[in-house]
Each structure stands twice: as C-alpha cells, then as structure tokens.
Chains A and B, each alone.
Chain A
C-alpha cells in the first residue's frame, strides 16, 4: 500500500525543503511551525494491456466496445493533446496503446471508415512529431499521410456541426465526431476536473462554444448542461486512464522523495542537479534539456464505457491519488511553480502561464475550500521571465503587452478585449494554420486565475521579475523572508504558513 499524503509540521529538525521555481529547484528553510502538505506516493500501477482490455471489453454503463462496432460504420477516435500529462509520458504513450486496442477491435469488426482527431480545443495544433508521439508510430504511419489523423479545428465553420442549445449556450462540435456512428474519446486523467462528455466538448467544441464556456461569468450549471447535451447527442464511448504521481523524469526521481529520506546517492544527485543548472546559464538550453525529459507515468486505473459513469469512476480514483486532508485554512500559502506547464510544452513558460500554473492549476486544486483563508496571502516561487514563444504564444504576447498594462479585471477584459482576441484574424489564422494557441486562450486562463485568487489578499512572487509581477497585478520579493515581511502587514507577524509540496499535484481537502 502506498503512503498517503500527509501534513508535516516544521520543527527544528526539519531539513530545508524542496521548492520548484521555474526550471530550477531550491531548498528553502520554512519558519518553524509551518505546515507542509506532502502528496501521496503513487498508488500501485495496473497492468496496462489487461486494464485496457478490461476497459474496452467489460466497460461500465455500456455494452462492450466490440458490441458497438459493426462493418461499414463511421468510427472516430479522439484523444487529448500534449497538454496532458506534463512532462510527457515515457514512450509509448498510454493513449497510443488504447488507440491501438480500439483500432484492432475496429479492424476485426471490419470497419473501414476510421478517423483520428486530436482534441485540441483552443490549444495549439499538434505538430506531426507530437501526433506521432501521442498515437504511436504505427498508427501515425497508417493514418497521417491519408489525412485521417488530424487536429480538431474549432474555427473551421464547415467542419463544425450544431448540436442545439443547452444552458443558454449554442453547442457546436466537430462535424466528423458528431456524424460518426461511434466516437471513442481517449482521455488521460491527471486532475479531478470534469471528464467524460465535458472533455469531449472542450477538445472538439467550436470556438464560439468554447468562448461561451470559458466566459468569466459562466454558470457551472451551463457547463454541465452543455456537456450533458453532448453526451445525449453523440454516441460516445469514453476511455479514461488515471495516472499515478510519478511526475519526475528518471534522473530527478529522487525529488519525489521526502527530503529527510534522501540518501547519500540522492544528495549527490541533488548536488549534481544544482551544479548542472548553475553551469547551464542559458535559460533556453536548460529548457531544451529539461523539456526533452519524460516521466515514467503509470496508469492506476483505466475505465471505459458510458462517459458519465467513467468520469465518476476516474475522478474518484484521481482523488484517491491526489487528495490530502488538511486541518484548517492557512494565513499564508506557499507554492512552487515548476518549469513545465500544460500549455508551455516545448516553449518557455511566459508570465501569464506561470501565474496560471501556480494560481489556477495548483492553488485552485481543492475540493471546495481553498488552502488559504479569505484575505490571506499566497507566496509563489517562479522567476516570471518575459520569455514568449512567438510560434505558440502570439496571443499571450499581445495579452501581456496590451491587456494587462491596461487592466487585470476580468469584467473589464471581457467587455473591452475578449471579442478582439476571439476574432482577431491574425490569431485565427495562426491557430488554424500554424501552431499558435487561440486568441482566447490567454483570456480564459486569466479568468481562471482571477477566479482562483478572488478571495486572496496579497500574492507575492519570490525571485520574480518585478515589472512583470507588477503588470500581473502582483508583488515581487527576492527571498521567502522578504515575501513574509511584505505580507506581514495583512496577516501579521506570526501567520499560519502552509506549503503545498508540489509537484506532484495535490488536491487540498479542508476538513
């Protein structure tokens, strides 16, 4: 049985603790009396081949996949893009295995009309190399050249079908997916966010639908209604695999250990890592080396069948892996943001994405009550360098340069800028023909950030570029001690500090 996550109280015997900060790590000594939330060790992995077979052949809430296949039918297999998991899974990707299993059953059933679609939603188009990594070499070679392995295009009006209206939102979805006799959606679960039909919608929805779903004032009920509409209208067979917590690439796997358990070898590796990151002063080179590393993620459960049931099953398993119960809210939360975020694969993490990763993805992961009390402070570690990928993040460049210099207020952004970013022909062009994130992407990420920190007081970034932090509406400090000094005006001299020891991801459950 794996060790569950737990909360450590820092005392005088506690060694300095590991904190991620961009593409480097540091050891920070936390004030005595602070609490540290450690994630659970990985749950025991399952055997993938057996689990895939079980998921497809004995699904939940559905007939076995083979029973839903018949000759001459249209079959579409859609799958998540490279934004999950991060870092990428050590090859072969689990999605490739699942897709191969689905395809072999389809072939056995004599189905000719099969298409594969990367459910990118408003994310960037996947390059050929990325598609190859996602579906595996064999599938890639069979489908890509014939144009049967494609990226979803949320702006291609001719290839989008209208599903009707739900919760006040007109729902449009990929035409091929809608018009298929069966849509198999392969999804890797790395967070307890809504899965099932909601993932289909966010991966294959039209830009207009996704714009409405991502609006800053959208009701959760509307999202659920739209997902329900998809589940109702599209013959859907969901396959979801929940991943464990082995997020560190092999040479850095010791970072997942608790610091007092580091052996001599781990200490040596730490020393080596420190030296290496110090020697490689080029941020670009460092990113290239780290970006290449893959993590040996394992599945801890695979479920297939009815999207709603599959979603419930996988979410439960995901929480079992990631949830840690914490007693009482803190005055000050501390978070480290690592260099790789879902939307900066193969690219620098720009300030907006860093803020999203720290505030929305990490701090926002909880079961209903945030880690920090209302009006409390959050201290985040990340350099917030102004490095933008001109290829992937052109809309982020504009968002950072034009919108955030003007306002950080979601309602104002929504009123003054959202439409421009949604319809800017250049952004649409780059989204459709290049590899750029959609114009709305930064806008939606910013809404998510704003929502996550709505009740927080100060947010202070340690080791961050001051101008960039200020533009994001935050403050910068050079050390943790300085950051605590800054927030002391609002939380006092002796705040209750809780450090969220991520990665791996932790879902905070306040009791």
Chain B
C-alpha cells in the first residue's frame, strides 16, 4: 500500500527508540503547541510556559549526554524532534534549536567540566534559557570580519561589541558569545559564556519582525562587560567553534523543514478535497493534483536526505558539505511547497486561520539564517571546484 505521508516508508527503518521519540514529540506538539501557534504567530507572542513544557518532555538537549541532564538520544532522534516542532511553527523550532544546538552543544563540546556541570542540567530543564551570538549588524555571512572583541584584564576579560538577529536573546539568561581576542599579535575567535544579568549586557527586543513571530529575537549589546576567566572555552580557537554549533543546528533545520513542508502539503490536500468550485472538489482537477504530486515528490527527497544525514551523523561519518546540501535543498523546497500551498488555498491562504502563510513567511527567515541558501551553494561550489568564491575577485 502506498503511504501518502511517507512514500518510501523511512519511518519503518528508524530504530524503535527513534520512532518512539518521534511519536511522543508529535503527540506533544500537536496537543500542546499547535493550539497556540495561530495566536503566537499573529500576536508575536512566545508563550513563556513552552520552554518548561519542552524540558519536561526531554526535548531540550535531546542528544546531549545524560550525565549532564540531556536525553542521550541519537542525532536522528534530535532531527525527528525538530521535524515535529517545525510542523507547528519554525519559531518554536528556532527556540528549541538554539537551546539545544547553539548553546548546549558548545558547552558540552568545548566547555570545562565546571562549565558543563554549572549550565547543562539547568539548560536541559529550562531553568536557564540560552542564546548564541555570532552575527553582527555589519557581519552576517562573513563572520570572520566580526568586530566584537575581548581584551584581557585581571581575572578575566573585558568584552565590547554587539550581536544581532539573536533568537531568544530578550528572554535569555546566558549567551554563547564569539569574539576576537589577540593571541601572539593575531586576531583569534574565541567563545565565552556570558550571563545576561551581568553589568554592561543588554538584550533589546527586535520589533516589527514579519517572520518567526512566535519566537523572541533581539540583539546582544556588550559595553565593558567583565567576563571571568572561568567563562571562556579553554581550547577551541577560530570559526571551527561556532561552525560546530551551526552544523548541528543546520542539520536540525534540514529535518525541521520536512515538518513544515509536510504540514503545508497536508493542509493543501485537505483543502482541495473539501473546497468545491464549478460543482466539483478542486482536487478533481489536473492542476491541483500535479501540484500535490510535486509537493509529495519534493517532500520524499527531503525525507530521504534528512534521514540519511541523520544516519551519517550517528555513525560519525558526516561532513559539513553534506549538511550544507541538505539545509539548502530542504529549506528551498519547503519554501517552494509553502508558497504553492498558499496559492492553492486561494484567498483563504492569506489568513492566519489556515496557517500556511505562517510557514511561508517563517521559511523566508529559515532560508536566510544559519547560512543563506546562496552561501550554502558557495560551500558546495568550493567542494565541487576546489575554488572558493566567497571573496569576490573583481
């Protein structure tokens, strides 16, 4: 029998653990997040109860070691959770990705034992909310040009600079901040754990965002902030630090967008089945049918990429270019599917009630953040040709 939600039956191939985690996440998201998504998006409101609920379900730091309060689940399970959360709203998935991948992953991978013990259990339980500061107002795709800088002082560092487009910053207790320091007369990027309550830290909310309205976005501004020596990652140097976190988050996005696309496809299928024009359901016409066929074909390729990438990550055989390929492809296709879904809903498609337009405008951000569609194209281009084309040669 052909399964119109999972045509190549990848869910049958998942491990029992992963499938159970997927089903529990689906049950939670549909029962608890979906009913809030319409108002969350329309009213630009992130319900402050959501972090604790996700923590109670074990969805924050799902693949972080159990020794530090994480779930100890597989990379595939982490991806499947992202798919279920983003089936509801990319904003909710952004919150979850930042907490899990951009805050907990660097502390686990690069932090000292004390840093791990101090922060990871509280991040897993949502007692603390985290954010991640890499992008700056004038430095997006080119983070190596960042101007945020830390200089040594007695017992620590003095941090100055500003980061922008920071998911969670207005509600965050801690921020993972990447800043330049001088080492042997060279600028080197290093990572810091900064508590937002410290003197000189401010986290202004970014107003009038038209996308990802159900999650909080802001800036991080540092004015002569003293960061104790205990709060720097001791070993990691350079962009490898932030890119390790971004690889994890981008992998989650490759899965998350499968959920968003599946939602849009499912809503469109239902809509054209029920909506009658000229005496027949819209679904009885060739154009809606082939649009749905295209959607399902693209969703299947997205599922296959995300699933295989999860296997590769679980086996430790992934490469950043594989993640670029899947992030770029899956977000691009999800955006195409969401736009067609909006179109198939006619006038109703512009209202929040049908929720497809929320996915369209959310995915516009997802296409841009965590490496734009084009930057991931250039990463792949460099792999294919051996020539970097990030820096213009004109």
Partners in one complex: no
